[in-house]
Copies of this chain bind each other. A is one copy, B any other.
């Protein structure tokens, strides 16, 4: 749990429970109720509330939008899990594993529409901006997932393309959540844009940091298996930067490891790749890159026209992202 978002969590969970309780009791909605019951950090909807309340105190109109963002996020998880053939999500069976692919496809579709239904509760005056923002964001999330899949079979992904992919796949939804809170809370257009950019920068920084931690993180505190990305030949900021930096025999060795499975033994593979990363300075380079995004995010927060208490909430959120423990 991120502490700065904690004050909003209890009410949000209550509102989400009420939403779930009102879903029809038919087969279409059971997977929707299930996936929403699995918990998670609820970062995206809580960002709607953090931003909205920074401008307009306790506005109940924020909750449908916050739930919409969470429902959309879970839609993308349900469909991504089918595509990735993932058996588990938050330690529980994924929707397609518990039901079947068809149920997961169709319930996911219904969740995407449900998100629009929730957004449609916004005031007439604000609806066009809300819908435009959500349309742009949600199709970018699809584009990000498509790029991620495309990258699996490509050997020439550039760092720019990679950053564009993580921006779309994860960062824009954070920006969208924050901007939506800003729109509903009555932020100026300038603040709306700064909120959006803050979310995007923080999201990209977080994702690059996640790539770094997957290779260099502390196995005690990093939630996933350290070295997992290397073992699965996943394209990350680190692999792409390493292939870019490496020359001659080192480059051939890396290509052999990632594209031709030259090293079969898992522990040996991870050790050798980490050695190469260190020789090339990829650990420092990726740290610098995520820090630079976090710094941009930090600078954007200073520009927001909000009171100090609210700003402290944003700074605390950003700090929490940077000391990732789970």
Contact = CB atoms under 8 A, between A and B. Distances in A.
Contacts of A158: none
Closest 4 CB pairs of A and B: A28-B146, A83-B102, A110-B142, A113-B139
Contact of A128 (B83, B112, B124, B146): B124
A150 B99 CA distance: 13
A199 B123 CA distance: 30
B150 A109 contact: no
A210 interface: no
Contacts of A145: 106
A97 interface: no
B131 A113 contact: no
A272 interface: no
A139 B112 CA distance: 9
A105 B127 contact: no
Interface of A: 26-28, 79, 82-83, 101-102, 105-106, 108-110, 112-114, 116-117, 120, 124, 127-128, 131-132, 135, 138-139, 142-143, 145-146, 149-150
A102 to B, nearest CB: 4
A113 to B, nearest CB: 5
Given A117-B135, A128-B127, A142 B109 contact: yes
B110 A135 contact: no
Contact of A113 (B83, B128, B135): B135
Count of this chain's copies in the oligomeric assembly: 2
Contacts of A106: 79, 83, 142, 145-146, 149
Contacts of A117: 135, 139
A128 B128 CA distance: 8
Contact of A112 (B27, B113, B120, B131): B113
A109 B124 CA distance: 26
Given A135-B113, A143-B28, A146-B28, A105 B82 contact: yes
Q: How would you classify the secondary structure of chain A's contact residues: helix, strand, loop or mixed?
A: helix
Nearest to A145: B106
A179 to B, nearest CB: 16
Contacts of A132: 120
A113 B127 contact: no
A128 B135 contact: no
B116 A127 contact: no
B83 A105 contact: yes
Contacts of A135: 113, 116-117, 120
A10 B114 CA distance: 35
A150 B102 CA distance: 11
A325 to B, nearest CB: 32
Contact of A146 (B26, B108, B112, B114): B26
Contacts of A105: 79, 82-83, 105
B131 A116 contact: yes
30 contacts: A26-B146, A27-B150, A28-B142, A28-B146, A82-B101, A82-B102, A83-B101, A102-B149, A105-B105, A106-B142, A106-B146, A106-B149, A108-B109, A109-B112, A109-B142, A112-B112, A113-B135, A113-B138, A113-B139, A116-B116, A116-B135, A117-B139, A120-B131, A120-B132, A120-B135, A124-B128, A127-B127, A127-B128, A127-B131, A131-B131
